[in-house]
Amino acid sequence: MARGLGIDIQFQDFPDEVSGALFRGPDRVVIAANANHHRNRRRFTVAHELGHHLLHPDSPAYYDREHQIGMYLRAKVSGTQWDSKEVEANRFAAELLMPRRLLLEAIKREGDVDADSLARLFEVSQQAMTYRLAEIRFG
């Protein structure tokens, strides 16, 4: 989807605490994901950054890095304060990669399934699937 919108996707050798980044230039947009993270986590990172691109056009760059004040974080700003833009980008990524309707159909079709098997089916991390199931009340 990101490539279809003309966004360049790159995998960079970031420190482990950096998941990814979105850069907007005058001539191109780049989503960078941590090349050292598992493929499923990189997929979520790309979807998350795509969410920023589509939902938050007011910023030239987003850095998804834990514990760095002044940058947009994956979920929290600091302490217990949540950044609404990060929550929105996470929800966008979750809906893109684990659409509610398809997830409910998979649960109905497969019967008694756990977060791990659904995570494999949807190619996301078990943590992402656990949050998604909790969000739709199957946690």
Per-residue pLDDT for the chain (139 aa), expressed as one digit of tens each? 999 999 999 999 999 999 999 998 888 999 999 999 999 999 999 999 999 999 998 876 666 654 332 333 344 444 445 678 889 999 999 999 999 999 999 999 888 778 999 999 999 999 999 999 998 876 4
Question: What are the strands, taking DSSP E only, across the chain?
Answer: 8-12, 18-24, 29-34, 61-65, 76-78, 81-82
Is residue 55 a contact partner of residue 88, using CB atoms and an 8 Å limit? yes
93 and 117 together in one domain: no
pTM of the model: 0.82
> Phi/psi at 126 (nearest 5 deg)?
-65, -35
Q: Which residue has the tokens 């939902």?
A: 55
Overall size of the chain counted in residues: 139
What's the domain range around 125?
Answer: 99-139
- Does residue 53 sit in the same domain as residue 70? yes
Residues 6+ apart with CB under 8 A from 3: 9
**What is the total count of domains within the chain?**
2
